[in-house]
A and B are shown apart, each in its own frame.
Chain A
Amino acid sequence: MLDALSGKFPVSVVTGFLGSGKTTLINRLLKRPDMNRVAVIVNEFGEQAIDNDLVEVSSEQMMLLNNGCLCCVLRGDLQETLRDLYVKRRNGDIIDFTRVIIETTGLADPAPVMQTLMTDEMLQENYRLDCVVTLADAVNGLEQLETMEEPVKQAALADRIVITKSDLAGEEVTAKLEARLRELNPQAPIRRALNGEIELAFLIDVGLRNMKGKLEDIERWMGEPDEHGHRHSHDSKVKSFSLRFTEPLSWQLFSQTMEVLGALRGSDMLRVKGLVNVAGHKGPMVIQGVQHLFHPPVELEAWPSDDQSTRIVFITRNIPRETVANLFSAIGAVTATA
């Protein structure tokens, strides 16, 4: 009767560099009739904020939109804002929202936003990270990726990447940017959007929604393998790779290995997602981490297919696959097969 995942409110994090079109995308989404129960958290109600024609009433901190959605300004920290939203929702003080969208500032590192959902117990029980959407502006994206750290991290952490303004940049530049983004994050599917128009299904219900563990849901969440079935990147700094173990692992050895990795190289372990076959457990253990922090593991009801091997996807900064594989071999006494 109780499913540890399905009762939680999905949270989408929309990130992307300055001018990449985050607000335009969110405004588009909010105009959809099926997105009428969304709470949007923005950093400020600036000129670039929510379209005026959407706003019904507003106070200093909150706006009620005419389609039923709620928009609120990040108050204090995100943790406090999400807690406040939850309490007000339960009290029936605000709309009965079913989804949260967080718009980060252009300069933001999305990692702390994601970590907030993993570390606060009350938030952990009531929200789940559904999707990190990173927007990349085709006109300026390549240069931004070359000259600044934040856009690289935003791309590396993404579950979905949306390239905007391709009409202004032209096909050649856009294709170069797309190739560069694919190098940084081969797991995240990439789409192009003009004026924020994009298929809703591409952006929502990316994270695992329940513990049933259907194959399509797992694949959607883990990301796209390339044409050879492998996941690896060619960037000199940001590495993306996967490990696979065919034998069941001891949870103790697995978690010790991850703890050592986190303690020594936490800040360079950008994102980890995986299914772990833990000895003695019926379903796979879902793990996900951002840098040194991991979400408490969730055991799915069953394996999605006959393939019951452990598979973990890593996106790291300057940590090659061999290092992680060797650590598993040394501490966990298991050898990665692929």
Chain B
Amino acid sequence: MKPTMSPQAQAAQTISRNMKLISHNELAGFGGVGEGINMQVTKDGRRILWLAHESAPKNFTGVDVTDVKNPKVIVQTDLPHERVRSNSLDVVGDLMAVAYQTKKTGDKPAGMDLFDISTPEKPKLISHFDASGPHSRGAHCVWFTDGEYVHLTSGSEDFEPTHPNDFQFYRIIDVRNPSKPVEVGRWHYPGTHKGDKEAPPPRHPKFDGGYRPHNINVYPEHPDRAYVAYLDGGALILDISDKSKPKVITNWKYSPPYNGFCHTVMPLIGRDLLLVTDECTKDDGIDWPKLGWIVNASVETNLVPMSTLPLPPVENFSKRGGRYGAHNLHENLPGPASFRSNTIVFGTFFNGGVRAFDTSNPYQPQEIAYYVPGKPAMSPKSAVQINDVWVDENGLVYAVDRFGGGLYVIEMTA
């Protein structure tokens, strides 16, 4: 043994800079969380953090974080079977949208549920939007911030992809009447639907992640724009001023040479910049580099990368086990309990933990804080896999592990 640590000892050690753990909750033993986090402020003033689970058996969990030092699980729901996952949710007021994605095409439930969470302990199902079909695996992600439309990453009964990996596309669902959600518009990557006049897009030569949207972000400051991460199709900006006919404004396609799986496209509102993240999807650094990109969007039709978020070396982190690389961001959602900044960015990096960056100088973003929990006791992986993050309006950071670690509530100390 040497004073410098083995990968196992490194993974066991919690490391941090300018961040401190306030509390930790393993979510009643079901601490595997997906990439849906949102905070509800109830009419009686409680703060409920809603978490979508990464996989069955649990659907979603509501955690009362009014007292951040003592988070309490107040509700935890089950999925109907092991062949479906929820993964993603969003909350507007007392309305919550939850996605359902099946393991195989043709299975059910596939699509989206809308819940009334005015009594958070007893979420009440309002409606189910069915997106099942012979070639559909349902919905992977919801974006729901205005109380009117859900921007859904989903398949549908009538969508037959040209390649089996391209089973989801962009659907705009009108939920103004939550008991009867209806599709009002859709868009798919040209060539991915059977019958398209365009040829199918080329497959990634090393890692065929597919052509599907992952996150679709729409902000009140730019209601006519959808910022879409389309996995191997790269980053897109769509004009959605006519929701029935989304139109492509630009597509920054950067893989290859990079390794695909564009995950999030987040505009830094007011700065003509985009923060684009990839998702690392392979263990042990196989698909490295998976990065957070700062992109110049001042000419919307010509997106140009400027820099990437500085990360510690893959040589260290890839040996600890699990994935290491970019994934989710705190997406500056509107809402009463959401931190919003166009300079400070929070991201999750699996075994690289949760990290904060100052992008004031977009050519040289600076890492300002990180928190990497030691290997969670209840995780089957040999290192933590921080999957998603939510930052509240007070700057408290809620980070979740993909397998067993549950919820970490963290404060910035600088």
Contacts and interface: CB of A to CB of B under 8 A. Distances in A.
A7 B316 CA distance: 24
Nearest to A3: B414
A6 B3 contact: no
Given A89-B15, A90-B17, A96-B13, A2 B5 contact: no
Given A1-B344, A2-B368, A89-B15, A94 B5 contact: yes
A96 B413 contact: no
Interface string A46-66: 000000000001110011100
B248 interface: no
B3 A58 contact: yes
Interface in A84-101: 88-96
A88 B4 CA distance: 8
Contacts of A95: 13
B10 A92 contact: yes
B343 to A, nearest CB: 10
A93 B414 contact: no
How big is the A interface, by class?
20 to 34
A96 B14 contact: yes
Contacts of B4: 59, 62, 88, 93-94
Contacts of B316: 91-93
A59 B18 contact: no
B412 interface: yes
B2 interface: yes
Given A90-B17, A96-B14, A62 B3 contact: yes
B299 interface: no
Contact of B3 (A1, A3, A94): A94
B14 A59 contact: no
Nearest to A90: B312
B195 interface: no
Nearest to B4: A93
Contacts of A93: 4-5, 10, 316
Contacts of A286: none
Interface in A2-47: 2-3, 6-7
B190 interface: no
A91 B320 CA distance: 12
A304 to B, nearest CB: 20
B256 interface: no
Nearest to A70: B3
A59 B4 CA distance: 9
Contacts of A1: 344, 395, 412
Given A1-B344, A7-B368, A96 B16 contact: yes
Nearest to B369: A7
Nearest to A59: B2
Contacts of B14: 96
A275 B368 CA distance: 27
Contacts of B368: 2, 7
Nearest to A57: B1
Interface string B337-358: 0000000100000000000001
A63 B3 contact: yes
Given A7-B18, A90-B312, A96-B13, A64 B395 contact: no
Contacts of B15: 89-90, 92, 96
A92 B13 contact: yes
A89 B395 CA distance: 25
A57 B5 contact: no
Interface in B371-414: 372, 395, 412-414
Given A2-B358, A92-B312, A93-B316, A7 B1 contact: no
B205 interface: no
B220 interface: no
B270 interface: no
A72 B2 CA distance: 12
Nearest to A8: B414
Contacts of A2: 358, 368, 414
A7 B414 CA distance: 5
B313 interface: yes
B371 to A, nearest CB: 11
Contacts of B369: 7
A57 B18 CA distance: 29
A94 B1 CA distance: 12
A121 B104 CA distance: 54
Contacts of B358: 2
Contacts of B2: 57, 59, 62
B322 to A, nearest CB: 14
B156 to A, nearest CB: 43
A58 B13 CA distance: 19
Contacts of B372: 92
Given A59-B4, A91-B316, A92-B316, 9 more contacts: A2-B414, A7-B18, A7-B369, A64-B3, A70-B3, A92-B5, A93-B10, A93-B316, A94-B3
27 contacts: A1-B344, A2-B358, A2-B414, A3-B414, A6-B18, A6-B413, A7-B17, A7-B18, A7-B414, A58-B3, A59-B2, A59-B3, A59-B4, A62-B2, A64-B1, A88-B4, A90-B17, A90-B312, A91-B312, A91-B317, A92-B10, A92-B316, A92-B372, A93-B4, A94-B3, A94-B4, A96-B16
Top 5 nearest A-B pairs by Cβ distance?
A7-B414, A62-B3, A64-B3, A91-B316, A7-B18
Interface of A: 1-3, 6-7, 57-59, 62-64, 70, 72, 88-96
